[in-house]
Structure 1
Amino acid sequence: MTNFVDILAIGAHPDDVDFGAGAILLKMAAKGRKIAILDVTSGEMGTHGNAKIREKESLKAGKFLKADRFFLHLSDTKLGDTLEIRQELTSWIRKLKPKLVLAPDFQKEMNHPDHAALGLAVRAAARFARFPKILPDLKPHRVEGVLHYHYPTNRMPDFLFDVSDFTEKWVQVMKCFESQLKTLDYIDRNLKAASYFGSLVGVPYAQGLSKHNPILVGDLLEVSKGTLEI
């Protein structure tokens, strides 16, 4: 098992991380960041595919992302922000020791219930991970931050990343999830959203994250690079 990763990206189902933050992770991998992905369920309740197929697709995508990939095998459609799930996530955070954790956005509007529940559970687990009396057999770990990826229908992100140079490879990542592309053309949907976000900041394609907490900034001129006012 990989220890001391830079980024731990957590998804409720196989493909959540890849669709929601895949281009960003490709960019981070190109910078040499160590990445791990944790799929909390195997997406067995999806209309197409089954647990075995979806895990196989997920592992294939992980190779493109240069990420170690792990599965919790919890029950699809039954995730909640529960103590059990918080503690399970806490144990993984302590094992992998990430600097940054990515999780689904927890806003409930236009969101899968599993995504919203997991987003909250991850935030709690990141806090639990630094408390030594919780799961005392595992050494505490302090995460530097939790950021949230989301889907085009959720809301406007707080940060936009120029992923124009990684779009073609992102398409390859998304094509790995062949079973899910029978439901909806997620590739076209995600590319259109990335194109729209890119148009806001003057680049061909951008993908976003949300924070839900204050972020420490060192250069005011970097903050000024906001969306273009028309």
Structure 2
Amino acid sequence: MKVDILAVGVHPDDVELSCAGTLLHHADLGYTFGILDLTRGELGTRGTPEIRAQEAYAAARKLGAKFRENLGLPDGFISHDENSVRKLITAIRDCRPDIVLANAISDRHPDHGRSARLVADACYYSGLQKIRTNNLQGAAQEPWRPRAVYHYIQDRNHRPDFVVDVTTYYGRKMEAIECYASQFNDQNPGEYAEEPTTPISGKDFMDFLHAKARNLGREAGYDLAEGFRAARYPGVRDLFDLD
């Protein structure tokens, strides 16, 4: 299924936490998007891969994603090997996105930075004709290279290359995040009260997310924003389109 934007996260919930508002905003502009999780998050302290899969699909429905797929790469051991690159190329050629949103270039979780490079490189290799891939039905795929790869800002504070105003969409973003009850303790304290505490499981993490969105929006004059970095700086056709 062709989509305009492919949002890639190494763990289920990366996309919701970091760029869900941007996806909702662009959906309202008429663009389509899909979500690709690279791992099942099986090393996560809380929940199980099965629970996280159910939560991920519920969140995708909340957001209105055209699809959500999981590559099943090993959580914690993401590597830049041929098998992983080819799996990503196949996924990219399947949905032919114009823009890919990927994990932070560097971050607290080691998987984020490794995933960022893996996704960016796969987007490049996906455009090479001599790399042959087949879809799940066995049909040969045509080369496809996205126009741009942008890396969303996650845990660590980085100066963004640009920000997207998500003020109108922040409430719906939070509704998608709330689908991950196993991960965020204050969302469903009764069912998961016995789970271990993690850096993201308490209310203070939600306060941190809101504060980060306020901080990212401040310089652009937005109440709330999501930030992105670009390996290749974007061009501007009209200075008056800039806020």
TM-score (normalizing by structure 2): 0.86
Shift of 1:188: 2.2
Contact 1:171 1:187 (8 Å CA) reproduced: no
Question: How is 1:171-190 mapped onto 2 (pairs within 5 angstroms)?
Answer: 171-182=174-185, 183=198, 184=200, 185=202, 186-190=205-209
Cα–Cα, structure 1 residues 197 and 154, in superposed 2: closer, same or farther, change >3 Å? Answer: closer
CA-to-partner distance for each residue in 1:82-120, whole Å, 9 max, x for gaps?
22211110110001111111111222xx43111111110
CA-to-partner distance for each residue in 1:38-83, whole Å, 9 max, x for gaps?
0010101100011000011110110111111111111110102222
Match in the other structure for 2:18: 20
Q: How many residues of Structure 1 are paired with residues of Structure 2 in the alignment?
A: 220
Q: Distance in 1 between matches of 2:80 and 2:206?
A: 30
Q: Distance in 2 between matches of 1:152 and 1:197?
A: 13
Match in the other structure for 2:229: 210
Contact 2:153 2:226 (8 Å CA) reproduced: no
> Which stretch of structure 1 is more off in the superposition, 52-61 or 196-205?
196-205
Match in the other structure for 1:155: 158
Answer yes or no: is 1:89 the counterpart of 2:88: yes
Question: How is 1:5-154 mapped onto 2 (pairs within 5 angstroms)?
Answer: 5-67=3-65, 68-107=67-106, 110-136=107-133, 137-154=140-157
Flag structure 1 segments of 5+ consecutive residues without an equivalent.
226-230
Q: Distance in 2 between matches of 1:12 and 1:152?
A: 14
Flag structure 2 segments of 5+ consecutive residues without an equivalent.
134-139, 186-197
Contact 2:36 2:71 (8 Å CA) reproduced: yes
CA-to-partner distance for each residue in 1:18-41, whole Å, 9 max, x for gaps?
101111111112222111000010
CA-to-partner distance for each residue in 1:173-221, whole Å, 9 max, x for gaps?
1111111113323422211100111222222111111111132210123
Contact 1:41 1:76 (8 Å CA) reproduced: yes
Q: Distance in 2 between matches of 1:105 and 1:178?
A: 24
> Which stretch of structure 1 is more off in the superposition, 115-124 or 214-223?
214-223
Contact 1:5 1:96 (8 Å CA) reproduced: yes
Q: Secondary structure at the residue paired with 2:230?
A: coil
Shift of 1:171: 1.0
Sequence identity (%): 33
Shift of 1:152: 4.1
Q: Distance in 1 between matches of 2:80 and 2:108?
A: 15
Q: Distance in 2 between matches of 1:202 and 1:217?
A: 19
Q: Secondary structure at the residue paired with 1:180?
A: coil
Q: Distance in 2 between matches of 1:78 and 1:152?
A: 20
Answer yes or no: is 1:196 the counterpart of 2:215: yes
Contact 1:152 1:193 (8 Å CA) reproduced: no
Q: Distance in 2 between matches of 1:154 and 1:206?
A: 13
Q: Distance in 2 between matches of 1:147 and 1:130?
A: 17
Q: Secondary structure at the residue paired with 2:131?
A: coil
